[in-house]
Chain A
Amino acid sequence: MTADDPRGDTELLLAHAEGDPDAFALLFRRHRDRLWAVALRTAGDREEAADALQEAMLSAHRNAGRFRGESAVTTWLHRIVVNACVDRLRRRSAQRTVPLPGQDSLDDEDRWHTGRHELAAPATDHDTAMAVRQALAQLPYEQRASLVLVDLEGYTVAEAAQMLGVAEGTIKSRCSRGRARLATLLGHLRNPDDPKYVPTDTATGGDL
C-alpha cells in the first residue's frame, strides 16, 4: 500500500468507514507530515504532540462514519488534531503538575511584559524557524492553536473559529495578541516595561 493510491481523501475515508482495512492508514501516510506539524506546533512539545496525535488518529479512525463531507478531509483531521492538543494542554494545565509550554506560573500580564524569554536574533532561516518555534511554545496554548491554524496552516479566521468551536472575534483576538507577544519574544518589539526601555521616536525613523 502506498500513499499514491489514486483515490481521493474523501473516497479513502469513506472506504475506511465501509470496512476497507487499509484505507485509513493510507490516508494517514498521505498527510502525516502536515498532521505532525500541526500537532508539534500546537502542543509545543514532542511527546505531548505524539500523544495528542495518537489520540486524534484513533478518534478519527473510530469516528470516520461521522464525516459528512462538509469540509476537506484534511480540515476534519486538523480539527481533531488541534483539539486533541488543546484538550491535553487544558487538562495538564488544570492538574498543574508539570508546567507546559505556555502554561508557566505567570499570569497573562506578567507573561506579556516580562522580557525574560526574549530570544537571540536569528541569523539564518533555520535559526529563524527554531526561534519562532521556541517563541510559539511560550504563548498561551489557545493563542498558539489559533496562530497555528491561521498563520501556519492558512485557514481563514472563520474556519479556525469553527474548528476550535469559538467565535471569530475570539480567534482574531487570540491571533492579534499572540502575534504581538511573538514580536516581543522574537526581539522585534522591546519590552515596554523594561526599565531600560526608551520609546522610539518614530518621527526620526529610529530602529526598533
Chain B
Amino acid sequence: MNSRVDHDLLADYVGGALDGTSEHERVANLIAISPEWGRAADELAGALSRVSNDLNVLRDRPEPMPEDVAARIEGLFDGARRDPLAARVVTRHGPKKLRRWKRWAAPVAIVAAALGFFAVGWVPSLVSPTARDNAEEHPLSAGAPAAGQASPFPTAVTWRTYDRATLQSAPPTVGENLTTADSSGGSRSTYKAEAAPPLQRLTDPAALQQCLNAVTSALPGRVDFVEFAFFESSPALVISITSVNGQWRFVAGPDCGQSGPDERFRTPLK
C-alpha cells in the first residue's frame, strides 16, 4: 500500500477535525496498519503536547499595548466624539476650504458643459455652495442624502487612468482636469460614455454615500476628494482620504457600497 503520510490529514485526525466523517475511519485504519502512519501519529501526538505547553507560555505572557499605539487610538476618540464621518463635514465650514471650492467649482461647470466632459447623468462636481451648505447642516450620520441631493464631497469625473505608481502622486487639481479635457472631444466623449455604465450606480448620491461609508470603514478618515476615473484600465472611484496617519488614495470598484468598499488598491501619498 502507499504509506506516504499526508501530514495535514493526520493533523486533522489527531486534532479531531475528522470526527464524525468517513475520513476518520480511513485514517484510523491507516494508522493501525501502516507503520509510517502509526509512527507519524505517535510523533505528532507527542509534539502537540509540547506545542500546547509553548502556547500556554505565550498565552500567559502580558502583551501591553505600546503607548504610541494607545495614544493614536485614543486620539481618534477625542476627535470623533460623534460619528467620525460627521467630523469631516464640520471641517468644511472653514473659510479657506470653502473659498478654494468656490474658486474652482464654477470653471469646472462651465468648461465641462462646453466640452461635454461629464459623461454621467448626475454630475457630482457641480455641487452648488447652497446644496453643500445644506449638507453641512446635517451630519452625515443622520443618513444618506436623498436621491438627487448633491454630494457634500468634492467630486469630479475625470476618467484619468491611474496605476499603482501614479496613484501615489497628489490628487489632480482642477487645472489639471481641464487641461486633460482634450480638444478631440468626440472620441473622448465616446470613450467616457462607454466607461460610464459600470460606475453609473455610484452617480446616485445615496449610493455614493453608502460607498464612502464602506470605504471609511475600511480606511477611517476624512474623504477629501472623489474622482471617477480608471485604475489599471478599469473604471473606479479614486478617493483621497486624510487619515490619522497621513493622506491616502483608495481605489474602489463599481460594487463599492454593496457589500463593502470593493477595494482594488490603497496607497499612502508620498
CB contacts (< 8 Å) of B44 on chain A: these are: 180, 183, 189
Whole-angstrom distance between the alpha carbons of A47 and B244 in the complex?
14
Contact of A125 with B57 in the complex, beta carbons under 8 Å: yes
Number of A-B contacts (CB under 8 A): 164
Mark A196-208 against chain B: 1 for CB-CB distance below 8 A, else 0.
0001111000001
Interface centre among B12, B55, B217, B218, by most chain A C-beta atoms within 10 angstroms, is B55
Partner of B17, one of A53, A169, A202: A169
Partner of B15, one of A36, A61, A62, A175: A175
- Does B80 count as interface, using CB distance less than 8 angstroms? yes
- Does B65 count as interface, using CB distance less than 8 angstroms? yes
Whole-angstrom distance between the alpha carbons of A132 and B63 in the complex?
14
CB contacts (< 8 Å) of A33 on chain B: these are: 62-65
Contact of B80 with A188 in the complex, beta carbons under 8 Å: no
Contact of A62 with B83 in the complex, beta carbons under 8 Å: yes
- Does B121 count as interface, using CB distance less than 8 angstroms? no
Query: Interface size (A, Cβ < 8 Å)?
Result: 62
Whole-angstrom distance between the alpha carbons of A200 and B43 in the complex?
8
- Does B220 count as interface, using CB distance less than 8 angstroms? yes
Interface centre among A21, A58, A133, A154, by most chain B C-beta atoms within 10 angstroms, is A58
CB contacts (< 8 Å) of B38 on chain A: these are: 202
> Which residue of A is nearest B80, CB measured?
A61
CB contacts (< 8 Å) of B14 on chain A: these are: 176, 180
Q: Which 3 A-B pairs have the closest CB atoms?
A: A176-B15, A37-B63, A180-B11
Q: Can you list 7 residue pairs at the A/B interface with Cβ under 8 Å? A: A33-B64, A169-B17, A175-B15, A179-B52, A183-B44, A199-B40, A200-B42
Chain A interface (Cβ < 8 Å from any Cβ of B):
21, 24-25, 28-29, 32-37, 40-41, 46, 50-51, 53-55, 57-59, 61-62, 87, 91, 95, 97, 108, 112-113, 125, 128-129, 131-133, 136, 147, 151-152, 154, 169, 172-173, 175-177, 179-180, 182-183, 186, 188-190, 192, 199-202, 208
Please give 7 more A-B residue pairs, beta carbons under 8 A apart, in addition to A36-B63, A62-B217. A24-B77, A25-B77, A46-B66, A54-B72, A61-B84, A128-B57, A129-B58
